Structure 1
Amino acid sequence: MLVVNILLPVFFHSAMGGLHRHILSSVKVLIRKGHEVTVVCKPGPFAEEIEALGGQVIRTDYSNEDIKRVIDEVRTQPFDVVYAHPFDSRQLGIAVAEANAIPFVLVIHGMYVDEIEQYHSSVTRVVAVSEQIATHLTDHCPAVESKLIVIPNGVDAAFIPMEARPSSERVTGLFTSRLDADKLFILDVFLDALEDERVQRLPIDWLIVGDGTQREKYASRYEEALEGTDQTIKWLGWLDQSDLPDAMHRADFVIGPGRSALEGMAVGKPTIAVGSKSYQGLVTPSTWTDIANTNFGGIGTKYDGYTSGQIGDAILELMDEATRRDLARFSSALVDEHFRDEQSQQRLLDVLEQVVKEGTSEMDLIERYPFIRYDQLHARRSNRICTWKLTDREQRLEAMRDELEGAKQILEQLRSTNEEQSSEINRLRIKLQRWSDESK
């Protein structure tokens, strides 16, 4: 068996989320198959989980200064392939892959292109997690079409159906999402459900799974929307992957994006898909193909493609117990057939093994050095000019703020003076009136 030594750089802002679960699934399968994986990432719980699976971790904050240390460390190690995720981690991955003359595989998760037109010649394969994401990439950069492969996200074997919940007059709905600024569309669509008067009349108990910078703001909005209704809301916070299936089993239906939607379906729950880029609605036999092609909401026009009340329509449809039962069976069967993790990770492994066997031609760094050096100096100067302009803009804005504050103080003084003058005029008016009355 070919043993592959994989360098896996990944950059992220939030501590945990769907991206992290995607990578953890890959690392778990790759290590179980006997391959070696080194992940470059920020320190924290994600790095610790990688190590618990048996992977190696190089911790970095991805600052320019620290990346130089990371490059020194990875350049001397015998990696066979770089499997990178976008943005800062992609930049590191390409630099190492080019210098070490090893294949570079990039995975794209959503509606972005990560400046691929600038470096497509250095990419060996591009993995898109859905058909529409692949189309989005080729529309932007046709040169990558021959290198593209679609591998959908998969669901871990821990997410399986359990016995059906007993019938009850009340229904439990579970909403799951990372609660950060890049997920505002998802959070607002769920708010639209809670504010829908038709939904408010239903006997629903809500479970909220997730956490993030927007939790406090949206918690107050959600709870305010439910005031005066017969509904309840319970916050479960961010759950470990091992605890998430149990939480989903407590629900009668699930609302969520991307991988979370798949996980809800895997445990046999009717699922409403709403992602960071679009509302996709109830996953049914007639809609699932189109919804999957968007990675369950990862492609779309956000608010422009959503009409208030759409999610309410789907929730009303799920109030029928027979409908929920039919969709539960369909959902779990669909995941088993098309979206199990073992299938997706095996396809990824096949890609990595194939590019290693194919190899890559060594780059003539001496020949390319003048061009690389020019781009580097040009980028530095452009950044410096942008910094100067931003600094100048901030200084002008600060001066305008100071001038406005000064104007406010002058207005306040004038207002105070006018009030004193008005008071004196009224006092004199009263005095004159009294004198006039006394003289009569």
Structure 2
Amino acid sequence: MSASLHLLIPVFFTAPQGGLHENVRATVQFMLSRKHLVTVVCRPGPFAEQLRGSGVGVIETDYQVDSLAAAFTAIQELHEQQPLDLVHVHPFVSRQLGVMVSRILGLPCVATMHGKYSDVLPSQIDYLDAVFTVSEGIRHYLLTEGGVQHPEKLHVVPNTPDAKLFKAVYVASLPETTGKVVVSLVTRLDQDKAFILDVFYQAVAHAAEHYPGRIHWQVVGQGTLQETFSERVEALRGENTVSHAGWLQGEALRDAYCQSDAVIAPGRCALEAMSCGVPAIALGSKGYNGLVDSATWQQAVFSNFGGVGDKHESYQQGAVEKDLDRLMRSRADRRGLGHFGRQVVRQCFNESEMNRRLLNFYRLVIAAYKADPRPRVSAEAFLELRLEGLEISRPRPDLLVLEHRCKQPEKLRFAWYLFRDGEVIEKFMYRPEPKREIPLPGPGAYQVRCYVQDEHKRRISFVGAEAVVEPDIAEVPDQR
């Protein structure tokens, strides 16, 4: 039997739940099932608690720049007690932390790219042993537009639904949906999903005009735009009905799919619905693939079901209305589309096959790194790891006091920019003092951006504090 591995997964997210979380969860569950160890570095909250409940090690961090040193120390202590074998990073600040860990501790590092963005991949590809994209379309983007110079390092490992969970099961219809076609929107309701929501509004308006009283819209998801979204749908729905299920997981999510006659969803959600035999209109944050059928399935697979595109620029007006019309033709047509979608999932997104592929990549990367390791670097090479926190106080309503806690402060220089209502109103240029008193001149919304420079002229910056001065009442500043 192969030796057990210890995998470190740093992942950063803003929303408490989403497709990124499910991607990580799937990797974790598979590794645990094979008796490997996994430690996830993430923000505190429901996801962290769910992972702990599954037997996963969790290191919590808010991923603020001045919190990375504490996270690294926790990882280093873990490595001394239970040696890590591999770092699997996800984009942005979690990638930043993971690459630092791999370079300092001398560990191989792989990355997953989930969408049409390059992060800083072109400048860090030399520090990565492999890069996994969730679709061929994202790989193509990174090579043709993303500036990545090592195509040999890019491999496609798609999202895969849990076929044991997401399958067709009988679920009783809700009384309010009797005699209606249930169409579910499954997505987060946040600004980064604005394109999805805009196209959905068009579908709701079209249905109100052409299928009054015949459709029930089921919304599965929540987010920062929930109130605005609900008001807009209510204004557009006409005689059709709508229900809001909130964010669902596990069997509750499967049952919501199975109660639906069709879904409108991006990425992993579209795959899960199709695995349940439910036809899907693939609508992602970057593009519209439309109803997954014999003519569109290959493009949907290529783009991760809407993960590649130019949003409104590439959207053909009337597309969602046309697809909705087709769904409304007959139950037999919907049944045929659902059967076809399930075939696509079985052929292209076999969970066991892809998980084994990922584990085999892990083993290859570890073996290759042991044979030819990269030179290790010291923690002092990373300015971020010299910052240990920012103390913020407000002794009076019109004064902020900020002070960096850091290693070797005598070798660092500090600058501060004060913004009011989005405009820079004062600059405190680089000086060796880690502490700064900043007056707040009059009413307004203030933000302080901190700049730190080391002896090698390397610089980082981040928002250190925010505060509001009311004409008569001052609010306590948010702590970064």
TM range (shorter): 0.7 to 0.9
Q: How far off is 1:165 after superposition?
A: 8.6
**Once structures 1 and 2 are overlaid, which stretch shifts more, 236-245 or 86-95?**
236-245
Cα 1:384–1:265 shift into 2, 3 Å: farther
Q: How far off is 1:141 after superposition?
A: 2.6
The 5 A counterparts of 1:253-402 are: 253-320=262-329, 321-359=331-369, 360-363=372-375, 365=377, 388=417, 393-395=423-425
Residue 66 of structure 1 corresponds to 67
Q: How far off is 1:356 after superposition?
A: 1.0
Letter in 1 for 2:105: N
The 5 A counterparts of 1:14-25 are: 14-25=15-26
Q: Given the alignment, which residue of 223, 241, 254 partners 2:250?
A: 241
Letter in 2 for 1:208: V
Q: How far off is 1:200 after superposition?
A: 4.3
Residue 432 of structure 1 corresponds to none
Cα 1:154–1:49 shift into 2, 3 Å: same
- Following the alignment from structure 1 to structure 2, what is the Cα–Cα distance between the partners of residues 350 and 80? 14
Letter in 1 for 2:57: Q
Q: How far off is 1:373 after superposition?
A: 6.8
Determine which structure has the larger strand proportion and give its number.
Answer: 2
Cα 1:64–1:204 shift into 2, 3 Å: same
Contact in 2 for aligned 1:82/1:97 (Cα 8 Å)? yes
The 5 A counterparts of 1:40-439 are: 40-76=41-77, 77=79, 78-139=83-144, 140-156=146-162, 157-162=164-169, 169-196=179-206, 198-201=209-212, 203-227=214-238, 229=239, 231-320=240-329, 321-359=331-369, 360-363=372-375, 365=377, 388=417, 393-395=423-425
Gaps of at least 5 residues in structure 2 are 388-412, 427-439, 445-480
- Following the alignment from structure 1 to structure 2, what is the Cα–Cα distance between the partners of residues 334 and 120? 32
Q: How far off is 1:393 after superposition?
A: 2.7
- Following the alignment from structure 2 to structure 1, what is the Cα–Cα distance between the partners of residues 443 and 37? 56
Contact in 1 for aligned 2:263/2:281 (Cα 8 Å)? yes
- Following the alignment from structure 2 to structure 1, what is the Cα–Cα distance between the partners of residues 365 and 258? 40
- Following the alignment from structure 1 to structure 2, what is the Cα–Cα distance between the partners of residues 75 and 122? 19
- Following the alignment from structure 1 to structure 2, what is the Cα–Cα distance between the partners of residues 165 and 269? 15
Letter in 2 for 1:70: A
Q: How far off is 1:305 after superposition?
A: 1.4
- Following the alignment from structure 2 to structure 1, what is the Cα–Cα distance between the partners of residues 376 and 21? 35
Q: How far off is 1:191 after superposition?
A: 0.4
Q: What secondary structure sits across from 1:141 in the alignment?
A: coil
Letter in 2 for 1:224: A
Q: What secondary structure sits across from 1:237 in the alignment?
A: coil
Number of matched residues? 393
Residues 153-180 of structure 1: CA deviation (Å, up to 9, x unaligned): 1001200123599997421111110001
Q: What secondary structure sits across from 1:211 in the alignment?
A: coil
Contact in 2 for aligned 1:2/1:353 (Cα 8 Å)? no
Q: What secondary structure sits across from 1:107 in the alignment?
A: strand
Letter in 2 for 1:255: I
Determine which structure has the larger helix proportion and give its number.
Answer: 1
Cα 1:401–1:61 shift into 2, 3 Å: closer
Contact in 1 for aligned 2:418/2:425 (Cα 8 Å)? no
Q: How far off is 1:369 after superposition?
A: 7.6
- Following the alignment from structure 1 to structure 2, what is the Cα–Cα distance between the partners of residues 233 and 304? 29
Residues 355-401 of structure 1: CA deviation (Å, up to 9, x unaligned): 111124141537x988x679x99xxxxx977x6385693439x9999
Residue 26 of structure 1 corresponds to 27
- Following the alignment from structure 2 to structure 1, what is the Cα–Cα distance between the partners of residues 44 and 19? 18
Contact in 2 for aligned 1:4/1:36 (Cα 8 Å)? yes
Cα 1:265–1:355 shift into 2, 3 Å: same
Contact in 2 for aligned 1:270/1:328 (Cα 8 Å)? yes
Q: How far off is 1:111 after superposition?
A: 0.6
Please give the TM-score of this superposition, normalised by the length of structure 2.
Answer: 0.76
- Following the alignment from structure 2 to structure 1, what is the Cα–Cα distance between the partners of residues 344 and 210? 28
Q: How far off is 1:117 after superposition?
A: 1.5
Q: How far off is 1:75 after superposition?
A: 2.0
- Following the alignment from structure 1 to structure 2, what is the Cα–Cα distance between the partners of residues 191 and 384? 48
Contact in 1 for aligned 2:16/2:45 (Cα 8 Å)? yes
Q: How far off is 1:133 after superposition?
A: 0.4
Q: How far off is 1:286 after superposition?
A: 2.0
- Following the alignment from structure 2 to structure 1, what is the Cα–Cα distance between the partners of residues 383 and 310? 39
Contact in 2 for aligned 1:7/1:82 (Cα 8 Å)? yes
Q: What secondary structure sits across from 2:35 in the alignment?
A: coil
**Once structures 1 and 2 are overlaid, which stretch shifts more, 328-337 or 3-12?**
328-337
Residues 232-261 of structure 1: CA deviation (Å, up to 9, x unaligned): 000101112231001111111111011010
Residues 173-226 of structure 1: CA deviation (Å, up to 9, x unaligned): 111100011101101110011112554436001110000000000100001101
Gaps of at least 5 residues in structure 1 are 378-382, 403-440
Q: What secondary structure sits across from 1:388 in the alignment?
A: strand
Q: What secondary structure sits across from 1:272 in the alignment?
A: strand
Cα 1:212–1:329 shift into 2, 3 Å: same
Q: What secondary structure sits across from 1:244 in the alignment?
A: helix
Q: How far off is 1:135 after superposition?
A: 1.0
